[in-house]
Amino acid sequence: MFTKILIANRGEIACRVAATARRLGIKTVAVYSDADANARHVLACDEAVAIGGASARESYLRAERILAAAQATGAQAVHPGYGFLSENEAFARACAEAGIVFIGPPPSAIAAMGSKSAAKALMGKAGVPLVPGYHGDRQEPAFLRAEADTIGYPVLIKASAGGGGKGMRRVDRSEDFEDALASCQREAKASFGDQHVLVERYVTRPRHVEIQVFGDAHGNCVYLFERDCSVQRRHQKILEEAPAPGMSEARRAEMGAAAVAAAKAVGYVGAGTVEFIAEPTADGDLRFYFMEMNTRLQVEHPVTEAITGTDLVEWQLRVASGEPLPLRQEELAIHGHAIEARICAENPDAKFMPAIGTLAVARWPEYVAFRRNADAQSFHDPAAVRIDSGFGEGDAISPHYDSMIAKLIVWGADRAQALARLDAALAQTHIVGVQTNVAFLRRVVRSRSFAEADLDTALIEREHAALFEAPPLPLECVVGGVVAHALALERARETTDPWSRADGWRLHGVSTRRFDIEVLGRHHAVTLERLHGGALWLVVGTQRWAFATTPRGADGHEVTVDGRRWSLAVYASGEQVSVFAPEGSGVAHEVDLIAHAGDGAAEGGQLTAPMPGKVIAFLAQPGDAVKLGQPLAVMEAMKMEHTITAPRDGTVEELLYAAGDQVNEGGELLRLAAV
C-alpha cells in the first residue's frame, strides 16, 4: 500500500479521497489554485502545494505542475478524482513516465473509451447494442445535418470527448440543426479541447442506467450493480439512486455481464462506469443501448457504496497498489436502497443559471456514516445520512469551477424509506448567501413521477407545473419568522433595567412596531401589536392574526400565527431574512424606508450579465427590434453556455462588449430601448 498520495482535484471529491486515505494511514498532498488557497480540501490534507491561477486552465489542468508537486513531496501515486485530468490519457502516461502511479485505468483503456465515437465502434464489434446514429470522423455541418435527416428527428448531438452534459443538444427540426451543432462544438472545445461530435437518434423515453465496474491487474473484473441517473437538468444529473427501480434480476445480470465484457475488452483496471440508455419494453422490462464508458470514479459512487457496504476509494487505492479486488462477484449483493441529491449553487427558476457568492449559512442534517457489519457481507444502518462536501460556512462559491456545493446521500431498507429520509434531510439543509436548488430537489422528490419511479430524462419537463409553479411558503409563516427573529435579537440585548427593555411595554394602551418587508417582489407593511396584557397580534393589510413565538436555540423559533404552529429556522444576512419551515423555505427583505426614500425607478433599457463570464456571441445587432424572451446574447460561465434573453419588447440601441470579452457580474451587455 502507498504511504503518500497526491490528490489532483479540489472540492468534495478531494476531501472524500483524503478521508479514506487518512483512515488507511496514508499521507495526502493537496494541490490548489489561487482561488482555493483556503479551501476545505487544502485543510483536509497533510500537505498542500500551490499550482497556479484561479482558472482550471491555469492550475488543475496543468499536468506538469501537478507532477512536479508529486515529485517534490515524495508522493508515490496521484488520485485524479473526477473531471479535470481524470480521463486524460496523456496525463496518465506522464505519471507512468515519471515513476508515479496513476490511480486509475491504464492509458490504453482511457484512449479506447475516451472518444465516444471510437468506444461505440469498439462496442459494436463486441456485440453490445448501440443507439442508431453517426459515430464517424466527418464533421462538416452539412454532412452531419444530412446524417441527422437520415436518422430522423429528434436527434441528439453529443461531444465525442465529453461528459457531464457539456457539448450536448437535442434537436427536433432539421432547420435548427446547424445552430445547435455550432453551440455544441463551442462548448466541447472550451470544456475538452476537442469539438468532435457524434449524432444519434434521441430515445424519446430514455432512462439513464449505468453499471459500476471494477477491475484489477490480476485479470479479475466485477460489477457492483447499477445506478439510475435519469433525473437530469441540462443533461446533467441531479438525483441518482441504486438499485434502478423496476430492474429485473435477469436484465441486471445481462447489463452487468455486458459492462464487464466492455471493461475486459480494453484491459480495464480500477473503477469505471459503463453507461447505458434504456427504454421500457412491452413486458415492463428495459431494453438497453451502450452510451459511453467513464474511465474514472463517478460523482454518484456513494449510492453504490451504500447498497454494497464498500468503500470504492479504498478499492481504488488497493488495486492501484497491486492488490487483487477485495471481493469476488458472488460475494457482492444489494442491501436496501440509496439516493443521492446533488446540491448546486444555481437558480432553477432561471433555467438553472449557476450562482456565486459566500455561504453565510451552511447547515446540514445530522451525519450518520455508512458502515458494514462485522461479517462484511450484510449492510444495515437504519439512520443512514451522509454529506460529502468541500464547503462550509464562510466559503465562497467562485465562477471558476463547477457549481456543486455538496452531495446528500441517504440509505433506507427500501426505496420508500430512502425517499422519506431524503425529503427530511433536504428539509434540514439550510443554505443562505447563495441561491441553491435545495427547494427544487424537494419538489422533485415529492413529485408523482419520482415518488412512483416513473423515471426518464424528461421527468423535470413532464412535472414542470409541480416543480416550477409550486405555491410559496404562506405569507404569515415568512412574516412570522421575520418578526420572531427580530424579537429574539431584542431579547438578547435586554438588560435588567426595565426602562431599557425592548418588549414594547407601555403604562397605558397598545404598543405597535412596524416592519416593512418585501416577499416575492411585493411590499408588505407589517404591524406588530402588543396588548397591555402581553398578547401579540400581527397586522398585514386587512389581515390580523394572533401571534406567539418562543426561541429554540440560536436560530430556531416555535411560531404560532392565527392558530397554526411552525418550527422555523431563521437566518439574517444583511437585509435578507431566510425562513426555513418543514414544508419549504422563503426569503424576505427588510426594507428601510428612510434609506430607500430617495430611490427612483431602476434605470430602464439595461441588460446585464447575471454572473462573471465570457461573451460568446451577440444574437442581435443595433437597430434590431426584439421581442420578450428573444435570445440576445450567449455567455460562457462555470463551464456552460448560457443564453441571455430580452426582458421585454424593444430595440437594440448599443452593444457594449464584443465576442470574446470577459464581463463581470452585473456588467451591462447592451442597451435596449423601449418600443
Residue 20's SS3 state is helix
Q: How many CB atoms lie within 10 A of CB 420?
A: 13
- Domain assignment present for residue 121? The answer is no
627 burial via Cβ count (<10 Å: 0-12, 13-18, 19+): exposed
Question: Do you find a cis peptide bond into 243, omega within 30 degrees of 0?
Answer: yes
Q: How many CB atoms lie within 10 A of CB 293?
A: 30
Q: Check residues 291 and 439 and name the one with the higher pLDDT.
A: 439
CA–CA separation, 357 and 206 (whole Å): 35
Closest CA to 652 of 629, 634, 670, 627: 670
Residue 73: predicted pLDDT: 98
pLDDT surpasses 70 at 68: yes
Judge if 338 and 459 occupy the same domain.
yes
Q: Rounded to the nearest 10 degrees, how much is the dihedral formed by the CA atoms of 95, 100, 104, 105? A: 70
Instruction: State mean pLDDT over 554-580.
Output: 95
The pTM score is 0.82
CATH number for position 450: 3.30.470.20
Judge if 69 and 183 occupy the same domain.
no
Contact between 537 and 561 under an 8 Å Cβ cutoff? The reply is no
Considering its fold, how many domains does the chain have in total? 5
Worst-scoring range by mean pLDDT, 44-53, 65-74, 370-379, 643-652?
A: 370-379
CATH number for position 619: 2.40.50.100
Contact between 313 and 16 under an 8 Å Cβ cutoff? The reply is yes
Residue 288's SS3 state is strand
CA–CA separation, 399 and 35 (whole Å): 10
Per-position b or e across 48-75, b if 16+ CB within 10 A of its CB: bbbbbebbbebbbbbbebbbebbeebeb
CA–CA separation, 408 and 426 (whole Å): 8
pLDDT surpasses 80 at 373: no
Judge if 240 and 182 occupy the same domain.
no
Averaged pLDDT of the chain = 89
Cell numbers standing for residue 439 = 427547494
Judge if 229 and 178 occupy the same domain.
no
CATH number for position 162: 3.30.1490.20
Q: Per residue, what are the HEC states of 173-191?
A: CHHHHHHHHHHHHHHHHHH
pLDDT surpasses 70 at 289: yes
Residue 164: predicted pLDDT: 67
CA–CA separation, 315 and 24 (whole Å): 11
- Domain assignment present for residue 163? The answer is yes
pLDDT surpasses 80 at 376: no
Judge if 211 and 197 occupy the same domain.
no
CA–CA separation, 199 and 138 (whole Å): 11
pLDDT surpasses 90 at 94: yes
Q: pLDDT of 209-262, one tens digit each?
A: 999 999 999 999 999 999 999 999 988 899 999 999 999 999 999 999 999 999
DSSP state letter for 136: S
pLDDT surpasses 90 at 469: no
- Domain assignment present for residue 357? The answer is yes
Residue 139: predicted pLDDT: 94
Judge if 281 and 357 occupy the same domain.
yes
Judge if 220 and 350 occupy the same domain.
yes
CA–CA separation, 294 and 476 (whole Å): 49
Residues with Cβ within 8 Å of 285's Cβ and at least 6 positions away in sequence, in order, are: 248, 250, 251
- Domain assignment present for residue 624? The answer is yes
Name the band, by pLDDT with cuts 50, 70 and 90, for residue 39. very high
CATH number for position 34: 3.40.50.20
CA–CA separation, 468 and 471 (whole Å): 9
Residue 494: predicted pLDDT: 62
Q: pLDDT of 408-428, one tens digit each?
A: 999 999 999 999 999 999 999
- Domain assignment present for residue 600? The answer is no
Q: Domain of 577?
A: 475-590
Q: Check residues 283 and 364 and name the one with the higher pLDDT.
A: 364
Q: How many CB atoms lie within 10 A of CB 454?
A: 16
Q: Can 448 be counted among the known catalytic residues? A: no
Question: Do you find a cis peptide bond into 324, omega within 30 degrees of 0?
Answer: no
Q: pLDDT of 138-193, one tens digit each?
A: 999 999 999 999 999 999 999 988 666 788 899 999 999 999 999 999 988 887 88
pLDDT surpasses 60 at 371: no
Judge if 344 and 421 occupy the same domain.
yes
Judge if 290 and 377 occupy the same domain.
yes
Most confident stretch, 275-289, 393-407, 592-606: 393-407
Instruction: State mean pLDDT over 459-466.
Output: 94
Question: Which of the listed residues 85, 103, 121 is the one where a domain comes to its end?
Answer: 103
Pairing of strands 101-102, 77-79: parallel
Catalytic residue among 62, 296, 318, 386: 296
Question: Which of the listed residues 468, 495, 522 is the one where a domain comes to its end?
Answer: 468
- Domain assignment present for residue 94? The answer is yes
In angstroms, what is the C-alpha Rg of the chain?
A: 27
DSSP state letter for 103: S
Judge if 246 and 197 occupy the same domain.
no
Which residue type does 411 have? W
Question: Which of the listed residues 562, 590, 618 is the one where a domain comes to its end?
Answer: 590
